[in-house]
Amino acid sequence: MTSAKEKDVKDVAANFDFHGEALDTIFDTYATLRSKCPVGRSEKYGGFWFITKSDDIFAAEQDPETWSVRPSMMFPPVTDAELPPIDSDQPEHTDYRRILLPLFTPKELKKLEEPIRETARAQAAEFLAKGSGADASYGYARPVPTIIFSNLAGYPEEDWPKFDQWVDDIIYERVERPEVMRAAEKAVYDYFDNLLDNWKDDPESSTLIDYLCRAKINDKPLTRDELLRYCYLLFLAGLDTTAWAIRAGIWHLAHNPEDQQKLRDDSSLIPMACEEFLRCLSPVQAMARTCLKDTVVRGQEIKAGDRVVLAFGSGNRDEEIFPNPDKVDILRQENRHLGFGGGIHRCLGSNLGRRELVVGIEEFLKVVPPFTPADPDQKWHGVGPLNIKF
């Protein structure tokens, strides 16, 4: 006989989802799954396996020969095409990734330190001027990465106002309203097609688009199709994730005035606090793989061809790795989280994203006086409104 509890766990597994409202209670879901069903099967999105323990996720990340990223790491996908380099297996992955890798090293990013800080400071001042009750998401967390990344990538300033809506439609509407996603997907491809049509090789310019257009793989430039897919990926990766991370940091500090005061009293704690935001409130809760050969994970057989979701957000709260895992502990010293993934597909922009988050929080706290939530019902996740009182 199946006990009520076992049935509950089966329900939790079968309904496991990591988008939209499911995120409201996902940390409880993770805890249930880790203890009762660490590898299991959800019936959502046509069915997929999920892996929730940190060590199992890490092992999969280190084994790209068993776990392919094709046809899409994002799940459900954000487009039909495979996006380089996140949806590319080796050897193509290495070729694609190498084009931009040197631009995202800590050394290169030092050059961006002042522009990041100036942008954050100016945006914080603009936000402050809106007054108590203003929305720190649309008023700060979103514009900061839009400005920084658009300058780096080479997106003209007059186009920036269109970006938020495209990101919202592609990332956040794809589950409930796929037709909205499709329209935005087309708009973004058309936008980059036009940008590439008008691209000129100016030796003084060194944007990400310039690097992509000048790049050669085996002596051949990238095709227009490859360029478009790469641009589409950068557009989504550079804007949404960082906005979420900054918003989530502000959300935590609004809800936890003691933590906020600690960071105000000692700003040298901010980088460590940001690691904790990335561990606990990460914009990337899960990424997908496709199993290439029959394998067994924690006793569960998984067949070649099956889709598998690596639940980073669960691994980041694994009690076997992190003591008191559900506590956001801004002083946590050992923090080997998977907020940026790991292995060969480690987030290419992690060093940039990290700097934007840290500097974004530093400048916000310098400019904006102590703040609390204006609407305590606004959730920790996503890039929607976050109104604060100060």
Interface with other proteins by CB under 8 A: which residues? 58, 62, 101-102, 104-107, 271, 275, 333-338, 340, 342-344, 346, 350-351
Least separation in angstroms between residue 104's CB and other proteins is 7
Cβ proximity to other proteins: between 81 and 112 the closer is: 112
With b for 16 or more beta-carbon neighbours within 10 A and e for fewer, the 53-65 pattern comes to bbebbbbbbeebe
Stated length of the chain: 390
Nearer to other proteins, 139 or 349 (CB): 349
The least CB distance from residue 142 to other proteins, in Å, is 25
Nearest approach, Cβ of 316 to other proteins (angstroms)? 11
Q: Select 94 or 372, whichever has its Cβ closest to other proteins.
A: 94
- The least CB distance from residue 354 to other proteins, in Å, is 8
3-class DSSP state for residue 289? Answer: strand
Residue type for position 65 = E
DSSP 317-354: T-TTTSSSTTS--TT-S-----TT--GGGS-TTHHHHH
Q: Rounded to the nearest 10 degrees, how much is the dihedral formed by the CA atoms of 36, 310, 145, 386?
A: -20
**Prior bond of 102 cis (ω within 30°):** no
d(CA 338, CA 249): 17
Provide the token pair at 283.
């914009």
Is the CA virtual torsion 207, 213, 216, 219 positive or negative?
A: negative
**Closer to other proteins at the Cβ: 101 or 125?**
101
Instruction: Please report how close the Cβ of residue 329 comes to other proteins at its closest, in angstroms.
Output: 14
Interior/surface letters 330-361, b for 16+ CB within 10 angstroms, e for the rest: bebeeeebbbbbbeebebbbebbbbbbbbbbb
Tell me whether residue 106 or residue 257 sits nearer to other proteins (CB atom): 106
* Shorter beta-carbon distance to other proteins: residue 74 or 352: 352
CB of 24 to other proteins, least distance (A): 28
Closer to other proteins at the Cβ: 144 or 347? 347
For tokens 């297996």, the residue is: 89
Shortest approach of other proteins to residue 54 CB, angstroms? 10
DSSP string, 140-160: IITHHHHHHHHHHHT--GGGG
Residue 337 Cβ vs other proteins, minimum distance, rounded to whole Å? 7
Helix ranges (H only) for the chain are 4-14, 26-36, 54-61, 92-100, 106-110, 113-130, 143-153, 163-167, 178-197, 208-214, 224-255, 257-265, 270-280, 312-315, 350-367
Which of 230, 312 has the CB closer to other proteins?
312
Q: Of the two residues 256 and 351, which places its CB atom closer to other proteins in the complex? A: 351
Q: How far is the CB of 95 from other proteins (least distance, A)?
A: 14
Closest by Cα among 278, 272, 258, 248 to 364 = 248
Q: Cβ of residue 206: shortest distance to other proteins, in angstroms?
A: 15
**Pairwise CA distance, residues 70 & 292, whole Å:** 10
* CB of 271 or CB of 385, closer to other proteins: 271
